[in-house]
């Protein structure tokens, strides 16, 4: 690897991906590894710094996650956050206990006082708000450490042994509620770890194109699974740069696309100088999905069928075992599918359920963006000169309406949802809100409700509208759409879409919900 690396060692906290994003925002590459990663692996990767994350456990309990104490002998700076701070204190001879009184237990925004002679707080205000979430307390600080921050309730908010480059904070610098939190992370990286700031999209792009050329070889061909969304479009541009016309982009219309989407994708790509193939596979997908209600099974069936269509297409185009399959997997897909760090599996993203037959068909699977966050993918797209309308499109999940039709999927339901979703998107666009909202769509629930239309009773589907704002789709806030816009969308949908008699708006953020309903 030709850039510096920071390792985020994951102890199961809910903001761990956010830590990784903050580090990358500071121009330093980082990866999240589970706390079960052996020390030898950590050493082999030669990180310039290590960050221990938060986590739900109490460090003094027997089955709490610990790490090999020899990590403190590597000469590599370490920043411990919340649980990570307590782990550092516990391992190095301090004492962590359950907070005995409510005042030592801190949750939420807390006025905090910093010692700005400490490198971590260099050039920052002496007093600001930090965001806490801890019920344990460092009753005794380990030898060699100084107290470098306190709050009104707690004397031990941050500790530092500057001679060894060890820092611990009880609060969460990675969340927006902590004022100057990113600057503290930046200080750790630049003042303590000696970061060079060598992570940027221009370099990533050049390096990745060179690596892809080497891996694919002078003759190798690539079949790309293209959905027309941001990720696969950016990957198409990246691969086209690497191998030119040895790339074939296969767009599978599974019958779960939005209204007119298949034609739009075809049009966009026909303007581009790439081999583009459209496969109409509605019947195939819908027949396999018939009567399946479980969201995970639906996702897996969709993932599998995608894979099998790609195998058929590879055979049709004479793409052989010497060639590669590529897909636009990004970091949240990996993490939420339960394949990165300690985080729990939330849902299997369709591209993480490839059938064995596909794996056997190709020499390998290329996923060169699998360590990028969504906003980084967009930057990469700009770097590659992709048109802005493709880069800034709202994301559309690979399984399409399949994760927006609750319960079993039928063509009739897909048609109802397509029409309602189209009206909703139209109203959002007319209100000029489309560039302010990160993602917005309709969901067809599998509930019926009673209504009255033209003096008659109706009994029809409840439709939900969803809209979120987010940078990275790992967390998201529900969008505060003006009532008038919701009103117009609701009235048009109930009047124009047969089968829907009630519209509701989803006011749940992520967490605790996810963006999609399934």
Active site residues: 82, 172, 174
CB of 403 to ligand XMP, least distance (A): 6
Rule CB under 6 A: is residue 510 a binding residue for ligand XMP? yes
Nearest to ligand XMP of 307, 399 (CB atom):
399
Stretch that binds ligand XMP, among 38-46, 130-138, 216-224, 391-399 (CB under 6 A): 391-399
Rule CB under 6 A: is residue 400 a binding residue for ligand XMP? no
Tokens read off for 106: 């801190």
- The alpha-carbon radius of gyration of the chain (Å, integer) is 25
DSSP states along 77-127: -EEEETHHHHHHHHHTT-EEEE-SSTTTSEEEEEEEEE-TTSGGGTTS-SE
Check whether the bond before 512 is cis (ω within 30° of 0).
Answer: yes
Taken in order 496, 502, 508, 514, is the CA torsion positive or negative? negative
CB of 329 to ligand XMP, least distance (A): 8
Nearest to ligand XMP of 83, 306 (CB atom):
306
Rule CB under 6 A: is residue 327 a binding residue for ligand XMP? no
Cα distances (angstroms) measured from residue 494 to each of 401, 460, 466, 497:
19, 10, 16, 6
CA distance 129 to 98: 23
Place of tokens 């690497």: 242
User: In this chain, which of 241, 397, 465, 500 binds ligand XMP, going by CB under 6 A?
Assistant: 397
In degrees and rounded to multiples of 5, residue 18 shows phi and psi of -65, -35
Rule CB under 6 A: is residue 393 a binding residue for ligand XMP? no
- Per-residue contact track with ligand XMP, 468 to 497, x per CB under 6 A? -----x------------------------
CA distance 373 to 107: 28
CB of 229 to ligand XMP, least distance (A): 7
CB of 227 to ligand XMP, least distance (A): 7
Nearest to ligand XMP of 110, 439 (CB atom):
439
Stretch that binds ligand XMP, among 162-170, 209-217, 343-351, 380-388 (CB under 6 A): 343-351
| Number of residues this chain uses to bind ligand XMP (CB under 6 A) | 16
Nearest to ligand XMP of 345, 411 (CB atom):
345
CA distance 396 to 228: 9
* Strand duo 222-226 + 247-253: pairing: parallel
Nearest to ligand XMP of 165, 295 (CB atom):
295
Decide: 220 and 245 in contact? Cβ < 8 Å. no
- Per the DSSP assignment, residues forming a β-bridge with 131 are 109
Rule CB under 6 A: is residue 215 a binding residue for ligand XMP? no
| Residues 432-461 close enough to bind ligand XMP by CB under 6 A | 439
Place of tokens 């990358």: 24
Binding stretches for ligand XMP (CB under 6 A): 299, 336, 347, 349-350, 395, 397-399, 403, 439, 473, 510, 514-516
């Amino acid at each position: 690897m030709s850039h510096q690396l920071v390792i985020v060692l994951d102890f199961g906290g809910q903001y761990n991906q956010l830590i990784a994003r903050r580090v990358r925002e500071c121009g330093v590459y980082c990866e999240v590894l589970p706390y079960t990663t052996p020390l030898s692996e950590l050493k082999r990767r030669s990180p310039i710094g290590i960050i221990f994350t938060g986590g739900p456990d109490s460090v003094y309990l027997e089955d709490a996650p610990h790490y090999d104490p020899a990590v403190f002998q590597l000469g590599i700076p370490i920043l411990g956050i919340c649980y990570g701070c307590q782990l550092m204190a516990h391992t190095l001879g301090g004492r962590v206990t359950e907070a005995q009184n409510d005042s030592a237990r801190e949750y939420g925004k807390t006025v905090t006082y910093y010692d700005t002679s400490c490198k971590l707080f260099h050039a920052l205000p002496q007093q600001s708000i930090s965001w806490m979430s801890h019920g344990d307390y460092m009753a005794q600080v380990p030898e060699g450490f100084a107290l470098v921050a306190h709050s009104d309730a707690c004397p031990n908010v941050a500790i530092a042994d500057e001679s060894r480059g060890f820092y611990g904070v009880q609060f969460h610098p990675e969340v927006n509620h902590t004022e100057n939190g990113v600057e503290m992370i930046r200080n750790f990286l630049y003042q303590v770890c000696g970061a060079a700031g060598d992570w940027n999209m221009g370099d990533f792009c050049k390096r990745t194109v060179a690596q892809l050329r080497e891996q694919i070889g002078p003759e190798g061909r690539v079949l790309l699974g293209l959905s027309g969304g941001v990720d696969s479009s950016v990957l198409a541009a990246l691969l086209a740069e690497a191998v030119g016309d040895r790339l074939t982009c296969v767009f599978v219309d599974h019958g779960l696309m939005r209204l007119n989407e298949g034609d739009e994708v075809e049009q966009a790509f026909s303007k581009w100088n790439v081999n583009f193939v459209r496969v109409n596979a509605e019947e195939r997908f819908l027949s396999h999905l018939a009567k399946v209600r479980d969201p995970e099974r639906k996702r897996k069936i969709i993932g599998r069928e995608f894979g099998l269509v790609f195998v058929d297409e590879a055979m049709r185009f004479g793409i052989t075992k010497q060639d590669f399959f590529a897909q636009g997997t990004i970091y949240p897909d990996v993490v939420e599918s339960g394949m990165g760090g300690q985080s729990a599996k939330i849902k299997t993203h369709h591209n993480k359920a490839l059938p064995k037959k596909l794996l056997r068909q190709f020499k390998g699977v290329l996923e060169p963006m699998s360590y990028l966050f969504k906003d980084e993918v967009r930057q990469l797209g700009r770097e590659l000169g992709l048109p802005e309308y493709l880069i800034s499109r709202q994301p559309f999940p690979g399984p399409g309406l399949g994760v927006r039709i609750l319960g079993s999927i039928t063509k009739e339901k897909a048609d109802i949802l397509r029409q309602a979703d189209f009206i909703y998107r139209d109203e959002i666009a007319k209100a000029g809100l489309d560039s302010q909202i990160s993602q917005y769509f309709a969901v067809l629930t599998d509930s019926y409700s009673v209504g009255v239309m033209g003096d008659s009773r109706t009994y029809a589907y409840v439709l939900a509208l969803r809209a979120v704002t987010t940078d990275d789709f790992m967390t998201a806030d529900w969008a505060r759409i003006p009532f008038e816009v919701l009103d117009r969308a609701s009235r048009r949908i109930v009047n124009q879409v047969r089968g829907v008699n009630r519209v509701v708006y989803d006011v749940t953020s992520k967490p605790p919900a996810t963006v999609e309903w399934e």
